[in-house]
Structure 1
Amino acid sequence: MWNPEVYLAFADQRGRPFVDLMARVGADTPRRVVDLGCGPGNLTVALAQRWPAAVIEAWDSSPEMVQAARERGVDARIGDVRDWTPAPDTDVVVSNATLHWVPEHAELLVRWASQLRPGAWIAMQVPGNFDAPSHRAVRELAERPPWSEPLRDMPFRDGKVVSSAVEYAGLLTDAGCAVDAWETTYVHELQGKHPVLEWITGTALTPVKSRLTDEQWQQFRRELIPLLDEAYPARPDGTTFFPFRRVFVVAQVGSPSRAASAR
């Protein structure tokens, strides 16, 4: 179960990639803007502010996140992004920090590119840190007794969850899009006791918690703390630097240059 309050504990820093992603979307007056994986809706609100005349469509698979989004005035619905099909007036599709939860998301991107009208935009951002010390520590601990049994089907069991910016660029170029793809490593300055643990509690550890009892969950956290504190030591001033790599793709469907080269 997703907890919007835990997720929003680092809202400003989690929101920065969304701002960087949307800065590269060149839509002027889109009719419909779709946010797939809207979470608690705090960033979806920014889409409505940028394009006040557009219909804002928001989806998330978590009932808790959808409820939090609705409380912000977002007309969000519960749904799996794999089930989404664009309406004819869809001009912008945004998926921020969501598609890494969908193993077949590469096929989804190609499908959306084939379904959207020429000139429509696809903008997506996914974490690219699945081989970072934080995630390696979680995987290593999950493979030890007594965790190996309840966590045997935990997602992200290896570091190959998402592709590189180059791979996504090739995928969507072949699908007839003009593509802008890049990777950025943000160095987050975190404060407090065990801040990396608190960060990943709101995201990567969600499927871990869902598979454990409350007592097991607290014990897992206690065993994870020294692994994370060793990988991300606090500075003398109390700051912990947390590098976080992210992968960005902005694609415009059926651009004239791509369509000409495809003929």
Structure 2
Amino acid sequence: MTVQTGGMWNPDVYLAFADQRGRPFYDLLARVNADAPRRVTDLGCGPGNLTATLAARWPNAVIEAWDSSPEMVAAAQERGLDARVGDVRDWSPAPDTDVVVSNATLQWIPDHSALLVRWAQQLAAGSWIAIQVPGNFDAPSHRAVRELARRERWAEPLRDFPFREGQVDGPAGYAGLLTDAGCAVDAWETTYIHELTGENPVLDWITGTALRPVRSRLSDPEWDEFRAELIPLLDESYPRRSDGRTFFPFRRIFVVAQVR
């Protein structure tokens, strides 16, 4: 597995757990009952492996894909997708947009509640909004990262470390938000127990996502040092079983809304 450099998204790192990262996407889309949408937009498409399944489900729809990472967009384009580099906050639906999907993206945007309301106002009646965000910001893995980032050694390089609690709402909060915006809402949460293997599997998992803000602020030697200091903290919270497996609970929040 290639380790990402700088603050860039590395598709290879992200896809290392493609099967397990993909399951919430399918659970989310299973609740979208659009029969023949004209345009389906995936905001935060990543490397496009999941976006491609939208074309398979709705072969007559125009599939639109956005991501802020040029590396991810390039990977999606290699899959034949019409993907473009863009900030989700700048996106507005085309008149024929019937389904908007955002999977594990909006947690990076502090004001994403306002985006959801705006989309609900801009989309035509009958359109669908489907989002999934991690709800694990208080998980032991993230608490360990925050604890390490606050230590004196890292106080200066990580002084603007953004990974804080409370970046997402709960299912009831999103349900209320989008109900007030004029939608019929189905919201829920699920905790997946991921079965991981390898020497440092939880570290490998969060390296592809949660540790990106840390990586972008550290030099290569600092990055190696930070990861080395993080390993024992993760091992304490996620001990490896005698059979070599590590169980990694991961809470996720789902919202499917149809504009009335």
Would you say same fold, with TM above 0.5?
yes
Distance in 2, Cα, partners of 1:138 & 1:3: 20
Q: Which residue of 2 aligns with 1:184?
A: 190
Deviations 1:62-114 (A, max 9, x none): 01100111111111000000000000000000000000000000000000000
Distance in 1, Cα, partners of 2:115 & 2:170: 16
Distance in 1, Cα, partners of 2:86 & 2:161: 21
What does 1:119-198 align with in structure 2 at a 5 Å threshold?
119-157=126-164, 159-198=165-204
Q: Which residue of 1 aligns with 2:20?
A: 13
How far apart are residue 40 of structure 1 and its match? Answer: 0.4
Q: Which residue of 2 aligns with 1:42?
A: 49
Give the counterpart of 1:87 among 94, 98, 103: 94
The more displaced of 141-150 and 160-169 is 141-150
The residue type paired with residue 188 of structure 1 is H
Q: Which residue of 2 aligns with 1:261?
A: none
How far apart are residue 161 of structure 1 and its match? Answer: 1.1
Distance in 1, Cα, partners of 2:161 & 2:84: 26
Runs of 4+ in 1 over 2 A off after TM superposition: none
The residue type paired with residue 98 of structure 1 is T
Structure 2 stretches of 5 or more lacking a match?
Answer: 1-7
Q: Which residue of 1 aligns with 2:225?
A: 219
SS of the residue corresponding to residue 146 of structure 1 reads helix
The residue type paired with residue 182 of structure 1 is W
2:163/2:213 contact within 8 Å kept: no
Give the counterpart of 2:110 among 103, 108, 112: 103
Distance in 2, Cα, partners of 1:153 & 1:246: 26
Superposition RMSD on alpha carbons, in Å? 0.5
Distance in 1, Cα, partners of 2:62 & 2:46: 18
| 1:246 has 2:252 as partner | yes
Distance in 2, Cα, partners of 1:25 & 1:183: 16
The residue type paired with residue 231 of structure 1 is S
What does 1:7-86 align with in structure 2 at a 5 Å threshold?
7-86=14-93
**Across the two proteins, how many residue pairs are aligned to each other?**
253
Distance in 1, Cα, partners of 2:204 & 2:152: 23
TM-score, structure 2 length as denominator? 0.97
Distance in 2, Cα, partners of 1:74 & 1:107: 28
The residue type paired with residue 124 of structure 2 is R
Distance in 2, Cα, partners of 1:154 & 1:51: 40
The more displaced of 141-150 and 240-249 is 141-150
TM-score, structure 1 length as denominator? 0.95
Distance in 2, Cα, partners of 1:33 & 1:154: 34
The residue type paired with residue 84 of structure 1 is W
Deviations 1:212-231 (A, max 9, x none): 00000000000000000000
Q: Percent identity?
A: 77
How far apart are residue 149 of structure 1 and its match? Answer: 1.1
